[in-house]
Amino acid sequence: MLGPPEQGNTARLNTPPRRTRIQPLPPGRVKVPSTPAGGRQGSMKSWVLDRYGPPERLEFRDVPFPAFRDDHEVLVRVRASSVNPADRHNLKPPLIFRKGRGFLKPKEGRPGLDLSGQVEVVGKEVKDLHVGDEIFGVGRGAYGEYAVADQTEVALKPARLTFEQAAAVPIAGTTALQGLRDKAHVKPGQRVLINGASGGVGTFAVQIAKSFGAEVHCVCSAANVDLIKSLGADRVFDYSREDFAKSGQRYDVVLDTQLNHSLAAYRRVLNPHGLLVPVGAGPGSISRVLPRLLKTLIGARIVGPRAKFFVAAVRTGALASLSELLESGKVVPVIDRTYPLAQVPDALRYLMEGHARGKIVITV
């Protein structure tokens, strides 16, 4: 019987993941015909969403092995995954976002994006991955025993990371990296504010900004102040006691996961050429988050401040850059809780509460 999820505030996993015995495929490259999972027969366990709705709509059942869409994909034996706001929003997206994914019910009924695991089968056009490689990145159906990933959206797993740690990285880590490096172009000596520093993106952003040589100020709750200081923050605002917008501090970059201040407040804390980088809009359904984002971005174009909104693209290059930071120890994934695969709905419900410290990981 499966026990309750492991709990431990910001636990960093240093022990090897539980491993299921499987028969390895022969070493080398496997030529893949256009059939499910390279012609594999039988079934696997996976969570399936047949109808849009809350996590309770998910069903855990035996399903066929996932099919390749083209010859650039790999079949991954999933060892760990993690939950993201995108997973929660995909359970019941607004109608305007259902084009191509099914208006009445999802065409792609196996949820889960972040993953880490081992390559089991490679498509015949895959050049840099081989059977047995340990990888991390994003794929289709990561809330299952096996998933399919495009070769451009995964990279070799950093050797010093467990599968659980690696699964915490792809979407959150890439979002923080691309926001700070590619959009804000953070340089040594600049002052960066991270609003919402204790979440998945925030904990990566604190460490990445410090690795770039920035002075980093952060905003979080009282319960998370010590955590954020341990990640290297130079100053931490407990939002229940102090409003960063009234502190008199000025910043070159504000990376914001909450968007819980007015445009006037952001203008007040940013330097004349400073930049606001929204990477979220706080907890809530996408029908609540999206209007907040649009209001900020449209308003910023009219009255300022300068702002850049983006959607992170998880690609091999970004994952390789993160691997360098992870291997050097400059960035360490922060994991709040782990849940076994059979408890994915519980993990999603915990995410929806909005109080996770770092990442929530699924072990397979």
DSSP state string for 84-136: -HHHHHHHS--GGG-TTT-SSS-SS-----EEEEEEEEE-TT--S--TT-EEE
Query: By mean pLDDT, which of 97-106, 228-237, 242-251 is the weakest?
Result: 97-106
**pLDDT surpassing 80 at residue 305:** yes
pTM of the model: 0.86
**pLDDT surpassing 90 at residue 281:** no
Helix, strand, coil % (nearest 5) of the chain? Answer: 30, 25, 45
3-class secondary structure, 62: strand
3-class secondary structure, 293: helix
Structure confidence at residue 312 as a pLDDT band (50, 70, 90): very high
Average pLDDT rounded to a whole number, residues 181-189: 98
Long-range contacts of the stretch 257-265 (C-beta < 8 A, 24+): 257/194, 257/195, 257/196, 257/199, 257/201, 257/202, 257/282, 258/195, 258/196, 258/219, 258/282, 259/292, 259/293, 259/296, 260/195, 261/195, 263/296, 263/299, 263/300, 263/303, 263/304, 263/305
Q: What is the dihedral of CA 314, 317, 320, 324, to 10 degrees?
A: -110
Determine the pLDDT at residue 10: 37
Sign of CA dihedral 68, 71, 77, 80: negative
From the candidate CATH numbers 3.30.565.10, 3.90.180.10, 1.10.3720.10, 3.30.420.40, the one assigned to the domain spanning 6-167+333-363: 3.90.180.10
Q: Which amino acid is at 24?
A: P
> Helix axis angle, 316-328 relative to 200-211, nearest 10°?
70
3-class secondary structure, 56: helix
Contact, 247 vs 254, CB < 8 A? no
**Domains 6-167+333-363 and 171-303 in one fold:** no
* Domain residue ranges in the chain: 6-167+333-363, 171-303
Q: Which amino acid is at 139?
A: G
What's the token pair of residue 267?
């203008």
Q: What is the tens place of the pLDDT at every residue in 324-338?
A: 999 999 999 999 999
3-class secondary structure, 207: helix
**pLDDT surpassing 90 at residue 213:** yes
Instruction: Supply the DSSP symbol for 144.
Output: B
**pLDDT surpassing 70 at residue 33:** no
- The proportion of the chain whose per-residue pLDDT surpasses 70, expressed as a percent, equals 84
Determine the pLDDT at residue 37: 58
Average pLDDT rounded to a whole number, residues 221-239: 97
Q: Which residue has the higher pLDDT, 354 or 37?
A: 354
Contact, 10 vs 52, CB < 8 A? no
Determine the pLDDT at residue 4: 38
Q: Residues 6 or more apart from 264 whose CB is under 8 A from it?
A: none
- CA 1 to mean position of chain CA atoms: 29
Please report, in angstroms and rounded to a whole number, the separation of the first and last CA atoms in the chain.
15
Determine the pLDDT at residue 104: 73
Alpha-carbon distance of 197 to 228, in angstroms, equals: 7
CATH assignment, 171-303: 3.40.50.720
Determine the pLDDT at residue 107: 73
- Give the residue from 228, 192, 232 showing the smallest Cα distance to 358: 228
Q: What is the tens place of the pLDDT at every residue in 35-73?
A: 455 566 789 999 999 888 889 999 999 999 999 999 999
